[in-house]
Amino acid sequence: MILLEANNRIIEDTLTVKIKHALSSQKQNDQELDTRTRSITVADFDGVIYRVSNPESDKSKINISISLKFYKELEKHGSDKVLKREYGNYLVQPDDGFDVTIQIDLNNIPNDWEALVKKIGLLKRNCFAAVFEKYFDFQEAGEEGNAQAVVHYRDDETMYVEAKADRVTVIFSTIFKDADDIILGKVFMQEFKEGRKASATAPQVLFSNKEPPMGLKDTAARTGEGVGYITFVLFPRHTNRETRDNTIDLIHLFRNYLHYHLKCSKAYIHSRMRAKTSDFLKVLNRAKIDDENNKKKPSYIGKQPFL
């Protein structure tokens, strides 16, 4: 299976090109930096929008802004603190219509700019990280009874995070638009269960269809046809400070990871079906019986017999 990248490659590549161009201009003592408009809009998973642009008329600076429909919910769990820790003074007042903006001054590029670019490529991931870090800390401290985190990361889909003394439970609700997706989804979830048998360190994974799990009983969780719930039970070996970064990288993209592989599986099945159908048509064409009236008569028929 293919793991989706936690970073946004387009943002990283765009910034790398612009910064290299600025450094090259500075080495050549070229006082005129590239003044072309750097306004680029990039879509990401979960309805997230990035924009790379110049602030007002200042072409020597680049703003990288992100818009998340659910940012207010992340903000309640300390996303501002996490972003301040990761980006420090690069954070500026968000552009209109966006939730977070990072600014790079092309006249004052840091020596470790490549690391900065990689960190900016993880902007969406770092927004999500606040929720997980908060509840991982609750578990580490043995705190129980804290309110469950609810993040509506898509219009019809929700993520729930809850901490216990010995584990953190993460539940994703997702919508399967086709009946085929439900069947394939069950197959994928079964593979995750089998994976835990092969590796004792893997988290426990549970899957329920139509009805929410017990952890969401007496809540407003959706029910009905096409609604699925995937539950991850994360233990201290997944949430400790040495491994939590990797856990966050993987789990915050799980919904997209699942649906990506469902679409790939359906595309593969369809391609195999088309190939097999083509083979069957070739066999039928070879077995076709020629029409008796269209058979070519021997050349001697109708000629006068020899005397």
175-210 tens-digit pLDDT: 988 888 888 888 888 887 777 777 778 888 888 888
Q: What is the mean pLDDT of the chain?
A: 86
Centroid of chain to Cα 257: 6
pLDDT band, residue 151 (cuts 50/70/90) = very high
The dihedrals phi and psi of 248, each to the nearest 5 degrees, come to -65, -40
The answer, yes or no, to whether residue 305 has pLDDT greater than 70, is: no
Average pLDDT over residues 57-86: 92
The answer to whether 229 touches 215, Cβ cutoff 8 Å, is no
The answer, yes or no, to whether residue 76 has pLDDT greater than 70, is: yes
Q: Tell me what pLDDT residue 56 has.
A: 80
Which carries the bigger pLDDT value, residue 143 or residue 43? 43
Q: Which contacts (CB < 8 Å, 24+ apart) does range 265-272 have?
A: 265/184, 266/180, 266/184
Query: Computed from CA positions of residues 12, 14, 18, 21, in that sequence, does the dihedral angle turn out positive or negative?
Result: positive
Centroid of chain to Cα 135: 22
Q: What is the pLDDT of residues 266-302, one digit of tens each?
A: 888 889 999 999 989 888 888 877 665 666 656 655 5
Q: Tell me what pLDDT residue 35 has.
A: 46
Average pLDDT over residues 162-178: 91
Tell me the pairing of strands 91-92 and 157-163.
Answer: unpaired
What's at 161, amino acid-wise?
A: V
Q: What is the pLDDT of residues 224-254, one digit of tens each?
A: 888 889 999 999 999 999 999 999 999 999 9
pLDDT band, residue 43 (cuts 50/70/90) = very high
The answer, yes or no, to whether residue 154 has pLDDT greater than 80, is: yes
pLDDT band, residue 123 (cuts 50/70/90) = very high
Q: Tell me what pLDDT residue 131 has.
A: 95
Write the secondary structure of the chain as one string of H (helix), E (strand) and C (coil).
Answer: CCCCCCCCHHHHHHHHHHHHHHHHHHHCCCCCCCCCCCCEEEECHHHCEEEEECCCCCCCEEEEEEECCCHHHHHCCCHHHHHHHHHHHHEECCCCCCCEEEEEECCCCCCCHHHHHHHHHCHHHHHHHHHHHHHHHHHHCCCCCCCCEEEEEECCEEEEEEECCCCEEEEEEEECCCHHHHHHHHHHHHHHHHHHHHCCCCCEEEEEECCCCHHHCCCCCCCCCCEEEEEEEECHHHHCCCCHHHHHHHHCCHHHHHHHHHHHHHHHHHHHHHHHHHHHHHHHHHCCCCCHHHCCCCCCCCCCCCC
Q: Tell me what pLDDT residue 302 has.
A: 57
Q: Tell me what pLDDT residue 25 has.
A: 79
Q: Tell me what pLDDT residue 38 has.
A: 62
